[in-house]
Amino acid sequence: MQQHRNSQKRYYEENSIYFIVTKTFQNFPYFKEPIFCELFAEELKLYKELKRFKLYGFCIIYDHLNLLIHPGDEFNISKIMQFLKRHCLRNANYIMGNGNEIDFEYHCNYAVYNFQKHKLPDDWKCASLNYGGLVKEIGL
């Protein structure tokens, strides 16, 4: 049994089937729209092959999903879910017409505030936050 690196509660067991419940951000009912249900089902179909996991069942509710998955040897359940969520969200944002803005904002924040992820001091000087004239302002 392998413990997840960021959690005291998550354990991976070899050759196990996982029942997963995952909620949408702020419980927003994205899946009330049939197009998002179809999108997620297509993503499952594709990534089941790419990430080599067995899918035994799923149910899509307006604000959450239930999945029954058996990971393969290459990707654990966290990697599978991270991949599914990231790609499904990206595609949903494009359908809603705000994909480019959200994608840009995410990557901009990731680049600028990456020092926080690495637990560097809050007053870290080597970020564009301290070089206002060097970077282009968003929206200009």
Give the pLDDT of residue 15: 85
Q: Tens digit of pLDDT for each residue in 29-88?
A: 888 889 888 988 988 999 899 999 999 999 999 999 999 999 998 998 888 988 888 877
Range of the domain at 123: 99-140
The backbone torsions φ and ψ at residue 70, rounded to the nearest 5 degrees and listed phi first, read -115, 105
Task: Dig out the tokens for 52 from the structure.
Answer: 């080599």
Q: What angle do CA 36, 39, 45 make, to 5 degrees?
A: 145
What pLDDT is attached to residue 61? Answer: 93
Is the domain of 81 the same as that of 112? no
- The answer on 38 and 52 residing in a single domain is yes
Same domain, 71 and 14: yes
Query: The domain spanning residue 36 has which CATH number?
Result: 3.30.70.1290
Of 72, 30, 77, 27, nearest in space to 52 by CA: 72
pLDDT at residue 140, as a whole number: 41
Same domain, 91 and 23: yes
* pLDDT surpasses 60 at 139: no
What predicted TM-score, i.e. pTM, was given to this entire model?
0.59
Mean pLDDT of 10-35: 86
pLDDT digits (tens, 9 = 90+) for 100-130: 666 677 778 888 888 888 899 988 888 887 7
